[in-house]
A and B are shown apart, each in its own frame.
Chain A
Amino acid sequence: MMKYPLFETENCLLTEIDYEKDLETDSLFTQDLRYARYWCKGIVKPLSKNEMKKTYEKLEKKADESRNKFHFAVRSKVDSQLIGYARFDWVFWNDQCGEIKVAIGHPEYLGKVEQELIEKLTYYGFHELNLHRIDCYISQFEEELDLSLKKVGYLREAIFREAEFFNNKYWDRYVYGILRPSWSQKLEA
């Protein structure tokens, strides 16, 4: 009956946070400020192991209390090492809408696993969370996500012009969305 595993893609596993192993790896990943952006709510900066621990704890507490956040540490299927994360950042239950985030910190996997992770989160959103629409906000410079979202069937619905400043330049912020009917059509095809 449940024919598709929810927490597994072709190359990745979607798992819980491992406080023993992930702190050091994720802290190292944030040395790349492009990845740090996915963890820092305020000032973008590399996070120490202790700051990372506090960030995990805050995230898990919020997810537990609000029940509208679903976070997965993404690992390689080959050796279980941490790659990044995949997350429903929020869900509006009354409107059946949710927003996904995919963050790749491991340089070898950047540009290689985004599409399968977006596909899996989208599947999870429509078939487990029972949503009507799913959003994804990305920056203009995140070309790998831009391409992957289009391939999965998301439409670019809005452009916040010059809404972000990074690397000495203003960038547009794109909002992508997919509705349940178009996802179902894609599955049938």
Chain B
Amino acid sequence: MIEKQDILTGEKVRLVPIDAERDSILFSLWHRNSEYSRLLDSDPARQFSSIATKKWIEENELAHDFVSFGIQSIEDGTILGDIGLGDFSGQFTNTFVGLGIGDPQYWGKGYGSDAMRIILRYAFEILNFHRVSLTVFEYNTRAIRSYEKCGFQHEGRLREFLSREGRRWDLLFMGITRYEWQDAFQKMENA
């Protein structure tokens, strides 16, 4: 028998389905902040209308090669970001995780780390992945620290990958295997 357990709830946040109607407005709003866009993506920072965002969300509902969630504060129910797993079409070996906390008032307070721990548990315990990967720009030091805290290992850096503000920046690769996650999870349980 399986113990009843709320896999998608952490200490500060829970992961909930993305609601096209509600979240498209939030996603558009978050992208007005160029700092957010530039932390998240190597594509040029730009704006998305909520109608275009809603259409994109609806077109990708029930997709089989990625899964995404809204990050909801347990305290007040606010949707403060989104997180998802992708690039696993055909095989459940490796997946890339992407995470964005859209509302800057929630930056640096542990919400992202909590969401990351939840999605790792989901990736390993429900979807049976062997490892989870991510890429992060070298200037996003807050995110790098958070990923290290969640158990991600540094696996290399692509030199001078990104061109922004008149200089080039490295793209860092990080990953966590099932074994590393199990070790980290057991330590957390025993603490």
1/0 per position for A58-98, CB-CB distance to B under 8 A?
00000000000000000000000000000000001011110
1/0 per position for A29-46, CB-CB distance to B under 8 A?
000000000001111100
| A161 with B177, Cβ < 8 A, contacts A92-B42, A170-B130 known | yes
- The answer for the CA separation of A155 and B65 in the assembled complex, in Å, is 31
Instruction: Tell me the number of A-to-B contacts counted with CB atoms below 8 Å.
Output: 78
Closest A residue, CB atoms, query B44: A94
- The answer for the CA separation of A97 and B155 in the assembled complex, in Å, is 20
Determine the main DSSP class of B at the interface with A. strand
Contact of A157 among B43, B93, B156 (CB under 8 A): B156
Contacting residues, chain A, for B94 (C-beta < 8 A): 160, 163-164, 173
Interface size on B, residues (CB 8 A): 26
A16 interface residue per 8 A CB criterion:
no
Interface size on A, residues (CB 8 A): 29
Determine the main DSSP class of A at the interface with B. strand
**A residues adjacent to B (C-beta < 8 A):** 40-44, 92, 94-97, 132-133, 135, 155-165, 170, 173, 175, 177, 179
**B residues adjacent to A (C-beta < 8 A):** 42-44, 65, 89-91, 93-94, 130-131, 133, 153, 155-163, 168, 173, 175, 177
21 cross-chain CB contacts under 8 A = A44-B90, A44-B91, A94-B44, A95-B161, A96-B163, A97-B161, A132-B160, A133-B159, A133-B161, A135-B158, A158-B158, A158-B173, A160-B131, A160-B155, A160-B173, A161-B153, A161-B175, A162-B131, A170-B93, A175-B173, A177-B158
